[in-house]
Amino acid sequence: MSVDITMPQLSDTMTEGTVVKWYKNEGDRINEGEKLADVETDKAVMEMEAFTSGVLAARLIAEGGKVPVGARLAVVATGKEDPAQVKSQASAGSAVKAPEPAKKAEPAPGEGTGPATATAVAAPVAVAPSPSASNPVAEDNGRPIRISPLARRIALEKGVDLSLVQGTGPLGRIIERDITAFMAAPPAKVTAPVVSPAAIGPGATQVIAMTKMRHAIAKNLVASKQTIPHYYSTIDIDVEELSSLRERLNAILESRRIRLSLSDLLARALATALLEHPALNATFDGTNITRYGDVHLGMAVAIPDGLIVPVLRNVNRMGLIEIRQRTADLVERARAQRLKQDEMRGATFSVSNLGAYGLREFSAIINPPQVAVLAIAAAEKRAVVRGGSIVARTMLTLTLSGDHRVVDGADGADFLRTLKGLLEEPGMMLL
């Protein structure tokens, strides 16, 4: 029988997708697990693989075409049926055509009444996002890196910066021997010059069309600020001892080429604090509040003309080394827009870290259905009073944004007090 390939919902906010590229032509044999197409959502470009084997009888949407979630993209002949006949039937029964990029996507096939609707709804989804382990990821300058699964695993374990490794495999792919050779004699890293955006001359103007991602960000953030009564709580934390602990741990881990960041220790402390204060490790759908026994930490990552929030799942079950390795992998693939579907959804709490920009303090907007978000500024030396004397200490300012519908101000303040205690006395995280 024939099986429909439909547009899946690849993110919580996705309503339509764009077929960026097809990897199979009509008449091609496809096997389960093979890559079929790249699809652009409101958050990323994701790969889709076949969940069935057969012959690709018809591609109903051309490259560049937009369709709503649930609409048919193609049809696969999985039995002894004639692919040409399947194509003819599919084309005759499909009301979806590839729209012009500037036009609104048309409705799903057979929308409204008739058997086409039942077929489109009942047919199994034949594709799902699944970046393979050998997918390209992005270098610092945005160019793709291709890497084998084994090489990727070794690089993560050893903390190797893939942007410095020269691949010697097919098409420049990084393979195991390349990682081994790099570790034996790593080259000195050259800092790339900062490239400023093209200047706009005096009297000139520049009109920039909003991308699909930027439209989604605008829509979601406006909805968040309009529907969620935010409140903000700010606290200063002395992280002098935490910074010293980090340096001691990094000295121990130097031989393994692993270097922890303050953000890694903060993630560990957050996991502990959130489990003690489940009111903040929660989601709210407008009717019910759901609290969670595990912490799935959303981490805002800036990408060109947008923002993406990969999710570090079950961070409360991880040690510091695993947090560092998992975070590095997620951030790398987030910037390359090569995350899996479940790596961008299901966060129970999120953080926005702008410390690298030198900000002393800022506030973030809640990402619903979560009920809180933590803004992390820069850790810096400040003059503070200790024992009646002014001394220099490493200080960090954190700002909690809470949803006042479900999290009271006292709850937020109590959470920050617990977090402060963990960060100022890191040994408490071991208890």
**What averages of pLDDT result for each successive group of 10 residues across the chain (431 residues)?**
82 79 91 84 76 89 88 88 84 51 40 34 35 40 61 74 74 78 64 55 88 84 95 98 96 94 97 98 96 97 87 96 95 86 91 95 96 97 95 97 97 98 92 75
- pLDDT the model gives residue 195: 44
At 339, list the tokens.
């995350």
Residue spans per domain, the chain: 2-129, 137-184, 213-430
Of 402, 346, 404, 410, the closest CA to residue 374 belongs to: 402
Q: CATH second-level architecture of 2-129?
A: Beta Barrel (2.40)
Question: Is 213-430 the same fold as 2-129?
Answer: no
In angstroms, the Cα distances linking 230 to 132, 401, 404 are 40, 6, 6
In whole angstroms, give the CA distance from residue 412 to residue 366: 14
- pLDDT the model gives residue 52: 83
Question: Among residues 215, 277, 296, 404, which one is catalytic?
Answer: 404
- pLDDT the model gives residue 184: 76
Helix, strand or coil for residue 422? helix
What order of strands is seen across the sheet that includes strand 45-50? Answer: 66-68, 16-22, 35-40, 45-50, 127-129
Amino acid at 34: E
Asked about 404 being catalytic, the answer comes back as yes
- pLDDT the model gives residue 94: 56
In whole angstroms, give the CA distance from residue 271 to residue 193: 37
**Per residue in 351-390, is it b (16+ CB within 10 Å) or e — as a string?**
bbbbbeeeeeeeebbbbbbbbbbbbbbbbeeeeeeeeeee
At 283, list the tokens.
């989601």
* DSSP structure string for 103-114: SPPPPPTT-SSS
Q: Could you tell me which CATH class the domain 137-184 is placed in?
A: few secondary structures
- pLDDT the model gives residue 117: 31
CATH of domain 213-430: 3.30.559.10
In whole angstroms, give the CA distance from residue 55 to residue 79: 9
